[in-house]
Structure 1
Amino acid sequence: MDTCPTFTAPATSGQQITLPDGQLTVLYFYPKDNTPGCTTEAQAFRDQHVAFAAAGARIVGVSRDSLKSHENFKAKFELPFELISDPEETVCNLFAVMKLKNMYGKQVRGIERSTFVIDGAGKILREWRGLKVPGHAEEVLAFVTSR
């Protein structure tokens, strides 16, 4: 995928997020609010938020959770960025992040942890799919600051 599909989706803080919108954006997809890996990932992006902002990049998270769940998750972990609610999987399908995964021996359909760096014109500069959480936010930051 070379170009960000155009979309508008509901997000926390009563916002509608539209991409592309002229801003450098780190768009990360994660399976579920308040689960260990997703919490660790959100906290890592939170802890690097100032550095991302200094590099001119905003962070936006996406999962299938409700806006209410997102607002609670955001408040609980003091996340300084918005989270898109995608219960119908519209945005997830645009980025092809829905996958069959094995969970406790059962096949379940869920979000494959993925991150996209999108420039202001909508060009996808880099993507990570099926990633591991440890060190990921730092790797994305290194990419953003090196361009």
Structure 2
Amino acid sequence: MSDIVIDQPIPDFTCQTAENTPWQLSEQRGHHVVLYFFPRANTPGCTTESEAFRDLDPRFGALNTIVVGISRDKPKTLANFRDKYGFPFTLLSDPEETVCNLFGVMRDKNMYGKKVRGIERSTFLIDSAGVLRQEWRKVSVDGHAEAVLEAVANLGG
């Protein structure tokens, strides 16, 4: 269950960055925000997805768009992940799952026959006024960052 609805404002939230400083959604007004949730730093799918956003980051920037990744990893883990792969964008830590629950991305999963609770790979496009314009759930990594870039381009300034 999610508290967010397409074409409605996203409630403000604050998370810690990889630098362990606060990041607040409302402070990003004036820029579109691509908020992508990933299950865990340094895993193959999450690395590939993050690298795709990294490689397209200049094109997102040219469209007045900030890319932000978020997971339940601790800030230090995220900082190491960012530094290892050269991600130019902000990574947020949500160990208490506050933002994950706001966006409804926590799911029961099967991992090697064992039930675990984790983040369902999802991305949300928030416009420069703080309104949710598009969401992608159960994301498949291949071609995803490109699809998000296309959606941003269709938003306009």
Does 2:39 correspond to 1:31? yes
2:95 corresponds to 1:87: yes
Q: Secondary structure at the match of 2:19?
A: helix
1:143 aligns with 2:156: no
* Ranges in structure 2 where 5+ consecutive residues have no aligned partner: none
- Note if contact 1:26-1:57 (Cα within 8 Å) is conserved in structure 2: yes
Structure 1 runs (4+) greater than 3 angstroms displaced: none
Deviations 1:96-137 (CA, angstroms, capped at 9, x unpaired): 100011111221100000000001222100000011000000
Structure 1 spans left out of the alignment, 5+ residues: none
| Counterpart Cα distance in 2 of 1:6 and 1:17 | 11
Which residue does 2:105 correspond to in 1? 97
Give the whole-Å Cα distance in 2 for the aligned partners of 1:81 and 1:41: 13
CA deviation after TM superposition for structure 1 residue 94, in Å: 0.7
Q: What is the Cα-based RMSD across aligned positions, in Å?
A: 1.0
Q: TM-score, normalised by structure 2?
A: 0.90
Which of 74, 77, 89 is matched with 2:85 structurally? 77
> With structure 1 as the length reference, what TM-score do the two structures score?
0.96
Bigger drift between 7-16 and 129-138 goes to 7-16
CA distance in 2 between counterparts of 1:110 and 1:14 reads 22
Cα shift at 1:49: 0.2
Aligned residues: 147
Alignment-mate amino acid for residue 129 of structure 2: A
Aligned with 2:25 (options 14, 19, 25): 19
Q: CA deviation at 1:14?
A: 4.3
